[in-house]
Structure 1
Amino acid sequence: MVSIVIPVHNRKAYTRECLSCLHTQTYRNFQIIVVDDGSTDGTDEMIYHEFPNVVVLKGDGNLWWAEATNWGIRYALEHLDKTQENFVLTLNDDTRVNNDYLQTLLDAYKQHKPCLIGSVSVDSNNPDKLEFAGTYMELYTASGRHLAEDYQYSYPELISKKAYVESHSLPGRGTLIPMEVFDKIGLFDSKNYIHYMADIEFSLRARKAGYHLIVNAKSIVYEFVAATGIQVEKGVTLKQFINGFTSVKSMTNLTVRYNFAIAHSKTKLLYFFFDVGRICAGFLLRKIRLMKA
């Protein structure tokens, strides 16, 4: 059984499209658990009427991604059928997938277990553009990188060269997790990583516990890039960039990045300062390029 856990908040149209493509999966032994964290746009009513088999758990708007995902995992654990092999698939609602998506994840799991299986991400509006294909994490000076660079951010190039990529971390956007992993390392750390980096931190703990982190090239998530949170890669203003250091919705939140540095880096504070310096330098370089353009 695959329990698909999807946190949602006020994105009814995206949620509808995501649920629609999941209901056409060729692999049928799954349940969908949507954690609706205080939506006010009628998301829950839409699900009740259009997708009556979906489990809906209602939050008050203060769960954010990590704890909303934990709610879904706890539900799956409480309703576990121990006579079969069980998994959680974490997925975001601003995505769509092919109808063989679940089957490709499970096929990859059988080939590489013990492991977590992550998905390749591509731009929904430009499916040849590779958004994610794994990471290399350097835990001394924060000089890691995205492995999509190795394939010039081209999905056709990736699939022509690799069936899978071994990664140092996996995002919550399409990761298949065997239930046994939660028994060994616990749930997502929603105290120190409220929204961003909870998935990265969890997968790193799983890797330290001996699980391979595999990105399966055939398991594609089509990502609505414009619907994601604050992204430093975009042309943000200086004010937006600074506000990102304290915003829960920002991947550059300093508290979150400090917590990660202290918990997982080899050099603690030094890693944190290198990390923040890299973020600031990247912002300045993008501004300089825009000025020259």
Structure 2
Amino acid sequence: MKIAVLLTCFNRRLKTISCLKSLYDAKIPAGYEFDVYLVDDGSTDGTKQAVTSEFPNVKVITGSGDLYWNRGMVLAWERAIAHDDYDFYLWLNDDVILYNSSLECLIRDHNREPNSIICGSVQSGKDKQITYGGSIPSGPKIVPNGEAQKCIEFNGNVVLVPKYVYQNIGILDSVYIHAIGDFDYAMRAYRKNISSFVASEYVGTCESHDSAPAWCLPETNIFKRVKSLYSPLGNSHPYYFFIYEKRNFGIGTAVKHYVSIHLRLLFPVVWNWRKTSW
């Protein structure tokens, strides 16, 4: 059974190397093997050279410099498909440190829930609280409890996609640049009646990057707020967020949130004072 591990990176040499070390140190069940496809999207910190030196078997793909996470993962996936016929595709963020039992856990849960997506939850290495994983819409992250638990949405930090799912819904959608592509993939699976599960155990550590963005902070001037909102790195870029919500929740919800995002941009003091969500 062959797994294609998909990563994308940019100027995080030490984190990328640490992630790969944890991957190669992880136990893997007998009869399984993996290839690694890493898109280096124009790093200038020596990431490509370090990876090539320490992990010569990693297939390093040079990006255009403007791919970011989602489109980098699309390129890695496309190269994997062109190279071989894999049984699984494992998404892996390069700031994740996998636990030694992570691959065994993901594969074990897949065997219990075949033809389903398995989302691996990660926790902070500081306080052991969950940082990324799966949830239901508008709900908190589902904490691993020893059993695979159904989810609908999931973050793309550690996700095992079996061949059956790929054959039915394809790869990540390149319409998205950085964020949202993972949530969109989860909803595409949901609409196809393909189940997603949170893995039974934590599979690694990853620190949270979820902090209030500059575009909704009243102390940030309006020009910087606009730049922040429309940055490719933002999770709420109005154009891409509109596409995601229109596809999955209808035009009414998409329009409502498109308006509310810009109201928060223009009037962050009032918005934060109300402590409400449209």
Per the normalisation by structure 2, the TM-score is 0.85
Which residue number in structure 2 is paired with residue 146 of structure 1?
A: 140
| Long gaps (5+) in structure 1 | 138-143, 149-157
Cα deviation, residue 92, structure 1: 0.8
Aligned partners of 2:90, 2:272: CA distance in 1, in Å? 38
Cα deviation, residue 180, structure 1: 3.0
Which residue number in structure 2 is paired with residue 218 of structure 1?
A: 201
Cα deviation, residue 264, structure 1: 1.4
8 Å CA contact retained: 1:244, 1:252: no
Which residue number in structure 2 is paired with residue 165 of structure 1?
A: 149
1:76 lines up with 2:55 in the alignment: no
Aligned partners of 1:42, 1:288: CA distance in 2, in Å? 45
Structure-2 change in CA distance of 1:276 and 1:162 (3 Å):
farther
Instruction: Read off the aligned partner of 2:131 and give its amino acid letter.
Output: E
Structure 1 stretches of 4+ moved >4 Å? 233-237, 283-289
Structure-2 change in CA distance of 1:215 and 1:278 (3 Å):
farther
Aligned partners of 1:168, 1:276: CA distance in 2, in Å? 26
Q: Secondary structure at the match of 1:31?
A: strand
Cα deviation, residue 199, structure 1: 0.8
8 Å CA contact retained: 1:244, 1:251: no
8 Å CA contact retained: 1:231, 1:251: no
| Long gaps (5+) in structure 2 | none
Aligned partners of 1:11, 1:223: CA distance in 2, in Å? 14
8 Å CA contact retained: 1:231, 1:250: no
8 Å CA contact retained: 1:232, 1:241: no
Aligned partners of 1:59, 1:109: CA distance in 2, in Å? 31
Cα deviation, residue 63, structure 1: 1.5
Aligned partners of 1:73, 1:51: CA distance in 2, in Å? 19
Per the normalisation by structure 1, the TM-score is 0.81
Aligned partners of 2:228, 2:213: CA distance in 1, in Å? 12
- Deviation digits for residues 223-253 of structure 1 (CA, Å, limit 9, x no counterpart): 133xx4x742799543455433211101121
Which residue number in structure 2 is paired with residue 185 of structure 1?
A: 169
Instruction: Read off the aligned partner of 2:212 and give its amino acid letter.
Output: V
8 Å CA contact retained: 1:164, 1:215: yes
Q: Secondary structure at the match of 1:256?
A: helix
1:252 lines up with 2:256 in the alignment: no
Aligned partners of 1:90, 1:180: CA distance in 2, in Å? 16
Structure-2 change in CA distance of 1:51 and 1:189 (3 Å):
same
1:232 lines up with 2:215 in the alignment: no
- Deviation digits for residues 103-145 of structure 1 (CA, Å, limit 9, x no counterpart): 1001000101220000112112222x112342222xxxxxx23
Cα deviation, residue 69, structure 1: 0.8
Q: Secondary structure at the match of 2:229?
A: coil
Which residue number in structure 1 is paired with residue 38 of structure 2?
A: 34
Which residue number in structure 2 is paired with residue 207 of structure 1?
A: 190
Aligned partners of 1:222, 1:242: CA distance in 2, in Å? 33
User: How many matched pairs?
Assistant: 264
Aligned partners of 2:225, 2:148: CA distance in 1, in Å? 35
